[in-house]
Amino acid sequence: MKLTALPETFAICRLDPGTALPAWLAECAFFSVTRTPEELSIVCVEAAVPKEIKGERGWRGFKVAGPLAFSLTGVLASLAGPLAEAGISLFVVSTYETDYLLVKEVRFEEAGRVLEAAGHQVEVH
């Protein structure tokens, strides 16, 4: 798989389930929102998130080159497996066309090396 490193730092935020989508999301070129009965989960550029918002900050991302056919199997397994073996946790955001892998910023460069060693092409700008 071909992966491109994203330049931004991301946050994974948790808000109460009935919360309206916050206005600060309008500042983000990239964001993902999931609402469940238990929470409103937002992944977005860290700089846009107000300090008082509960979240995990300090994530960096890799974008999987897409579009990916829905019939493909094993895409995430081929990426998550090597990272798991290296003890690197990840958070995945999937879209209609592709997947994004987020890893903690302190392990980002190591994650890139692990993915390359597993046979993936990693582009860092």
CATH number at residue 101: 3.30.2130.10
Residue 50 in domain: yes
Q: In the Cβ-directed half-sphere of 58, how many Cα atoms lie within 13 Å?
A: 6
Q: Tell me whether residue 73 is in a domain.
A: yes
Return the closest-CA partner of residue 89 out of 80, 98, 100, 77: 80
In a domain, 28, yes or no: no
Residue 24 lies in a domain: no
Count: domains in the chain = 1
- Asked whether the predicted pLDDT for residue 52 surpasses 70, the reply is yes
The 10s digit of each residue's pLDDT in 69-104 is 677 666 888 999 999 999 999 999 999 988 999 999
- The per-residue pLDDT for 40 is 97
Domain-embedded: residue 54: yes
Q: Which residues contact 115 (CB under 8 A, 6 or more apart)?
A: 3, 62, 79, 82, 83, 122
Give a yes or no: residue 38 inside a domain.
no
Domain range for residue 80? 2-11+46-123
Whether 29 maps to a domain, the answer reads no
pTM for the model: 0.90
Residue 55 belongs to some domain of the structure:
yes
67 band by pLDDT with thresholds 50, 70 and 90: confident
